């Protein structure tokens, strides 16, 4: 800590000079003839230099004069008088005085420089600690709290708080230190805070005990005396024109702290650093918020692109077929007419499926459709799912390996839809002609329903996202068309039924596991 | 132009089938391709007069196909796209596609575009010194532009612009394409400059932006020179 030793007041220094001189006189006067005047003078010079180095130039000069007088009085003829008999002694005393003053001043300058460097270093340390404490913060409130606790420990204060004005009222945004730091802002404090912001510089109320003697106007509350309860400091927190608030620093209750040399300057530097830190956190927050908004926007445009593609593609087939049929320039044969009508029929079904998917997902997500949980016979459900997916999965060997007595607690239509989507997914994305296997594993309280294909597996980069809405794997999106909703629907529906779904994928197989609560046959839960 | 060969590149089987049937009903000879590789193969063996190209293919984007086709062929290309694919659509036009159609479309519209594309294909093969569209006539040898008997006097830049549009009649030209061709690479992004010149040119031709008798605006995409015989 940058300290000035409180015990080294100039009076102590003067006393030490007088005392030291007295001791030297007492010790050397009886030996005057034996020691020699030159040696006595050197000893006195040593004392002067010591005093200078410890108490500074002024006290050193005093010591030089004191030792000079003592030398003259006790050791130079005529003794016990301030007169000097031999002219060379006059010159000697003069030289002694000059040497001790110059030597003392050199020493004291050295000492001051060293002290300044120490203080500088300590201040830098304080600011560095503050920076470190604030740099990791992502939340503005946490950053303010870190500021309060740093300033409390750095200045030996009993507490610190950040005050902010909203409307006409001041309130405490963050505080650290003792309980009093959290106290509401009093009338007097509000006034001080206002003045602090108006003046833009640190103000002290009472003597905060930071030894702020220089550069500071001390405003003593009316009726208070020196030595009363510790005072306060108010420091503006602002970056450029932007005012973040006022730092209220409570002085230490006792005066046993180590006061800083230039606490106000340091406080201001501290506050500047802190304000920057808080602003940085706020900016980071704003940037994060903007990023979230941007992602939401990207999500929306992905949704729009996906929906428009999924809706428009079947519509394009229908429109082409219908407009062809309406074309009177061509006399369509029965086969052509049939083909156009088939297109219309199948594309209308497809359109219906897409719209149903979107509506279902929206309903489940908005909570508009509550699941109806019943005991569902698993093998029947899987068999029906296979039947529904036969147009897509026909070319693939499909097997169901499920015990006949397995029931799960689920909403039958939601679970069916989820399984259908998983089978469709397997049929669309696994290697051509590969088998699709449906199975189930009975656990103590849950049943794992498994839909497995024969690869090529899912890119590990895509795995964490495949249940996201509108996420389509980089490779898949080229190979196969889809809405990117299928697996999101699986997840939404399974979770709505109280189950979970996970995926395991390797180069030769992808396995979706739906875990549902086991149920006793025909148990109905409402 | 019955008997012309059309290649339909579309991975949605039902849509491809309907388009093919309809085109065949109108007397065209049609081949189908379900992906990009098949499309490139068919272009070599079938030598179509027009290619209808879906922008989203299982193995490549329509843009890739445009680029590969254009390295060795100048077969007219009509891109089929869905709303939301605007950027891809413009990229495809920049890569040399001639026209685009947004799904869903009526067959009548597709047939009209096919006719324009076929005509463009034939004019490309025979270098005509005079381009006409209704009353407008552009004599490329004498650099003379007339509407009926009246002579129009475009500035040299306006003339270059008109000539570029007219020699690519029927083809949608994107802003960057026109800017590059008429002003040079440095101006490729200056859509405002292009808009200004198009307006001046339209004024001199007595053209309305809304109806676009000679120069039609494809909002957000580009411009095309209309040969008035085809009536759209």
Q: B14 contacts in A (CB within 8 Å)?
A: 314, 317, 342-343, 346-347
Q: Which two tokens stand for residue A366?
A: 């908005």
**Chain A contact present for B15, CB below 8 A:** yes
Say if the Cβ atoms of B25 and A330 lie within 8 Å.
yes
Beta bridge mates, A504:
A511
**Chain A contact present for B14, CB below 8 A:** yes
pLDDT number for residue A524:
47
Split at pLDDT 50, 70, 90, the class of A228 is: very low
Q: What is the mean pLDDT of residues A208-212?
A: 48
Say if the Cβ atoms of A329 and B26 lie within 8 Å.
yes
pTM of the model: 0.51
Q: How many Cβ atoms sit within 10 Å of the Cβ of residue A379?
A: 17
Distances (CA, A) of B107 to A320, A333, B11, B117, B170: 6, 17, 18, 15, 18
- Nearest residue to B232 via CA among B86, B130, B114, B152: B114
**Chain B contact present for A298, CB below 8 A:** no
pLDDT number for residue A451:
93
Q: How many Cβ atoms sit within 10 Å of the Cβ of residue A304?
A: 13
Q: Evaluate if residue A185 carries a pLDDT over 80.
A: yes
Say if the Cβ atoms of B25 and A320 lie within 8 Å.
no
Residue A75: alpha-carbon gap to chain centroid: 73
Which of these ranges, A26-35, A220-229, A385-394, B179-188, has the smallest mean pLDDT?
A220-229
Q: A317 contacts in B (CB within 8 Å)?
A: 12, 14-15, 18, 104
Q: Evaluate if residue B22 carries a pLDDT over 50.
A: yes
Q: Where do we find the tokens 């300044």?
A: A116
Which residue on chain B is closest to A332 by alpha carbon? B25
Run of H or E including A153: helix A140-154
Q: B108 contacts in A (CB within 8 Å)?
A: 323, 327
Instruction: DSSP for A193-231, please give it.
Output: HHHHHHHTS-EEES--SS---SS--EEPPTT--TTSS--
Which residue on chain A is closest to B12 by alpha carbon? A313
Sheet bearing A169-177, strands edge to edge: A169-177, A159-166, A242-250, A232-239, A203-205, A218-219
Q: Evaluate if residue A399 carries a pLDDT over 60.
A: yes
| Per-residue pLDDT reduced to its tens digit, A39-52 | 888 888 888 888 88
pLDDT number for residue B51:
93
Q: Choosing among A298, A301, A311, A316, which should be mutated to test the B contact, i.e. which has the most B CBs within 10 A? A: A316
Q: Which two tokens stand for residue A422?
A: 């998983």
Among B14, B25, B26, the residue with its CB nearest the CB of A343 is B14
Q: What is the mean pLDDT of residues A244-250?
A: 84
Contact A407, A377 (CB under 8 A): yes
- Gyration radius of chain A over CA positions: 44
Among A312, A347, A478, the residue with its CB nearest the CB of B83 is A312
Q: How many Cβ atoms sit within 10 Å of the Cβ of residue B175?
A: 23
Say if the Cβ atoms of A319 and B58 lie within 8 Å.
no
CA A512 – CA A510 distance, rounded (Å): 7
| Per-residue pLDDT reduced to its tens digit, B39-86 | 999 999 999 999 999 888 877 778 888 888 888 888 899 998 876 566
pLDDT number for residue B9:
93
- Gyration radius of chain B over CA positions: 18
Q: Evaluate if residue A525 carries a pLDDT over 60.
A: no
**Chain A contact present for B13, CB below 8 A:** no
Q: Evaluate if residue A367 carries a pLDDT over 80.
A: no
Say if the Cβ atoms of B105 and A304 lie within 8 Å.
no
Q: Choosing among A312, A320, A334, A349, which should be mutated to test the B contact, i.e. which has the most B CBs within 10 A? A: A320
Break chain A down into helix, strand, coil percent, rounded to 5: 55, 15, 30
- Nearest residue to B52 via CA among B23, B86, B90: B23
Q: How many Cβ atoms sit within 10 Å of the Cβ of residue A5?
A: 9
Average pLDDT, rounded, for chain A: 78
Distances (CA, A) of B76 to A293, B114, B226: 43, 9, 16
pLDDT number for residue A408:
92
| Per-residue pLDDT reduced to its tens digit, B97-144 | 888 888 889 999 999 999 988 887 766 655 667 888 888 888 888 888
Q: How many helices (H) does chain B have, and how many strands (E)?
A: 8, 12
| Per-residue pLDDT reduced to its tens digit, A288-313 | 888 777 776 766 666 666 677 778 88
φ, ψ dihedrals at A148, nearest 5°: -60, -45
**Chain A contact present for B83, CB below 8 A:** yes
B62: left (phi over 0), alpha (psi -120 to 50) or beta: alpha
Q: Evaluate if residue A227 carries a pLDDT over 50.
A: no
CA A193 – CA A170 distance, rounded (Å): 9
Contact A450, A440 (CB under 8 A): yes
Say if the Cβ atoms of A313 and B12 lie within 8 Å.
yes
| Per-residue pLDDT reduced to its tens digit, A97-132 | 888 888 888 888 888 888 888 878 877 887 888 778
Contact A88, A41 (CB under 8 A): no
Q: Evaluate if residue A207 carries a pLDDT over 60.
A: no
Among A327, A343, A347, the residue with its CB nearest the CB of B107 is A327
CA A125 – CA B124 distance, rounded (Å): 79
**Contacts of residue A190, Cβ cutoff 8 Å, sequence gap at least 6:** A170
pLDDT number for residue A230:
57
Residue B51's Cβ-side half-sphere holds a number of Cα atoms within 13 Å equal to 32
* CA of A349 vs chain B CAs: smallest distance (Å): 12
Q: Evaluate if residue B200 carries a pLDDT over 50.
A: yes
Sheet bearing B5-9, strands edge to edge: B29-33, B5-9, B50-54, B77-82, B99-103
pLDDT number for residue B2:
59
Q: What is the mean pLDDT of residues B28-38?
A: 91
| Per-residue pLDDT reduced to its tens digit, B168-194 | 888 889 888 899 889 988 888 888 899
Q: What is the mean pLDDT of residues A457-464?
A: 79
CA B55 – CA B88 distance, rounded (Å): 7
Q: What is the mean pLDDT of residues A415-430?
A: 86
ipTM over 0.85: no
Q: What is the mean pLDDT of residues A411-427?
A: 87
Q: Evaluate if residue A4 carries a pLDDT over 50.
A: no
Q: Where do we find the tokens 């979230």?
A: A292
Which residue on chain B is closest to A346 by alpha carbon? B14
Collapse the DSSP code of A139 into the 3-class scheme (helix H, G, I; strand E, B; otherwise coil) and give the result. coil
**Contacts of residue A332, Cβ cutoff 8 Å, sequence gap at least 6:** A324, A325, A340, B25
CA A51 – CA A109 distance, rounded (Å): 13
pLDDT over 90 percentage in chain B? 22
pLDDT number for residue A473:
57
Say if the Cβ atoms of B103 and A336 lie within 8 Å.
no
CA B41 – CA B56 distance, rounded (Å): 18
Report DSSP state, residue A464: G
Distances (CA, A) of A526 to A372, A374, A406, A409: 7, 8, 20, 11
Report DSSP state, residue A75: I
Q: Where do we find the tokens 């992905």?
A: A302
- Those of residues 387-426 in A touching chain B at CB distance below 8 A are none
pLDDT number for residue A8:
65
CA A414 – CA A324 distance, rounded (Å): 39
Which residue on chain B is closest to A317 by alpha carbon? B15
pLDDT number for residue B178:
92
């Amino acid at each position: 800590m940058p300290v000035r030793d409180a015990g080294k007041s100039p009076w102590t220094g003067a006393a030490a000079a007088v005392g030291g001189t007295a001791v030297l006189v007492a010790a050397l006067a009886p030996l005057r003839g034996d020691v020699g005047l030159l040696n006595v003078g050197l000893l006195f010079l040593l004392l002067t230099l010591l005093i200078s180095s410890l108490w500074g130039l002024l006290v050193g000069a005093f010591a030089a004069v004191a030792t000079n007088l003592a030398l003259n009085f006790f050791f130079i003829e005529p003794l016990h008088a301030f007169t000097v008999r031999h002219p060379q002694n006059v010159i000697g005393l003069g030289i002694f005085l000059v040497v001790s003053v110059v030597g003392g001043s050199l020493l004291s300058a050295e000492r001051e420089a060293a002290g300044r460097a120490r203080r500088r270093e300590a201040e830098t340390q304080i600011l560095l600690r503050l920076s470190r404490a604030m740099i990791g913060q992502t939340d503005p409130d946490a950053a303010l709290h870190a500021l309060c606790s740093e300033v409390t420990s750095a200045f030996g204060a009993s507490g610190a708080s950040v005050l902010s004005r909203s409307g006409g009222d001041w309130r405490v945004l963050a505080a650290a230190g003792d309980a009093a730091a959290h106290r509401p802002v009093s009338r007097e404090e509000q006034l001080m805070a206002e003045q602090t912001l108006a003046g833009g510089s640190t103000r002290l109320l009472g003597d905060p005990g930071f030894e702020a003697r220089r550069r500071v106007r001390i405003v003593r509350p009316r009726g208070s005396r020196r030595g009363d309860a510790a005072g306060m400091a108010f420091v503006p927190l602002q970056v450029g024109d932007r005012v973040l608030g006022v730092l209220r620093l409570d002085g230490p209750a006792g005066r046993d702290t180590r006061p800083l040399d230039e606490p106000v300057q340091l406080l201001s530097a501290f506050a500047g650093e802190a304000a920057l830190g808080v602003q940085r956190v706020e900016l980071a927050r704003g940037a994060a918020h903007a990023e979230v908004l941007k992602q939401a926007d990207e999500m929306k445009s992905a949704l729009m692109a996906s929906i428009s593609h999924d809706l428009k593609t079947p519509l394009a087939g229908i429109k082409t077929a219908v407009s062809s049929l309406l074309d009177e320039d061509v006399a369509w044969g029965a086969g052509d007419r049939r083909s156009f009508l088939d297109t219309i029929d199948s594309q209308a079904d497809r359109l219906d499926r897409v719209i149903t998917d979107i509506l279902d997902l929206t309903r489940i997500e908005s909570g508009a459709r509550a699941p109806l949980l019943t005991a569902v016979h698993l093998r029947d459900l899987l068999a029906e799912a296979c039947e529904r997916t036969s147009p897509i999965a026909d070319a693939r060997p499909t097997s169901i390996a499920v015990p006949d007595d397995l029931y799960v607690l689920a909403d039958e239509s939601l679970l069916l839809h989820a399984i259908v989507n998983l089978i469709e997914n397997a049929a669309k994305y696994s290697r051509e002609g590969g088998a699709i296997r449906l199975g189930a594993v009975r656990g103590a309280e849950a049943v794992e329903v498994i839909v497995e294909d024969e690869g090529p597996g899912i890119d590990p980069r895509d795995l964490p996202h495949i249940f996201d809405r509108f996420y389509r794997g980089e490779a898949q999106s080229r190979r196969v068309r889809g809405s990117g909703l299928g697996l999101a629907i699986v997840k939404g529906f399974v979770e709505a039924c109280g189950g979970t779904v996970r995926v395991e994928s390797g180069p030769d197989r992808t396995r979706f596991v739906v875990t549902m609560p086991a149920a006793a046959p025909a148990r109905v839960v409402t | 132009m019955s008997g012309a060969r059309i290649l339909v590149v579309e991975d949605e089987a039902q849509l491809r089938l309907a388009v093919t049937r309809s085109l065949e009903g109108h007397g065209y000879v049609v081949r189908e391709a379900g992906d990009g590789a098949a499309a490139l193969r068919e272009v070599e063996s079938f030598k179509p007069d027009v290619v209808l190209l879906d922008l989203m293919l299982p193995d490549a984007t329509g843009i890739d196909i445009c680029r590969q086709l254009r390295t060795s062929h100048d077969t007219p290309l009509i891109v089929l796209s869905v709303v939301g694919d605007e950027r891809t659509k413009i990229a495809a036009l920049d890569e040399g596609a001639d026209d685009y159609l947004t799904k869903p479309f009526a067959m009548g519209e597709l047939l009209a575009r096919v006719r324009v594309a076929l005509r463009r294909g034939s004019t490309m093969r025979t270098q005509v010194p005079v381009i006409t569209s209704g009353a407008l006539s552009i004599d490329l040898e004498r650099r003379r532009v007339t509407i009926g008997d009246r002579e129009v006097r475009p500035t040299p830049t306006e003339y270059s612009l008109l000539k570029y549009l007219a020699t690519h009649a029927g083809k949608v030209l994107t802003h960057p394409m026109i800017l590059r061709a008429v002003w040079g690479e440095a101006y490729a992004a200056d859509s405002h400059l292009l808009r200004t010149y198009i307006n001046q040119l339209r004024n001199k031709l007595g053209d309305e932006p809304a109806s676009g008798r000679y120069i039609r605006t494809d909002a957000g995409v580009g411009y095309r020179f209309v040969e008035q015989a085809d009536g759209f």
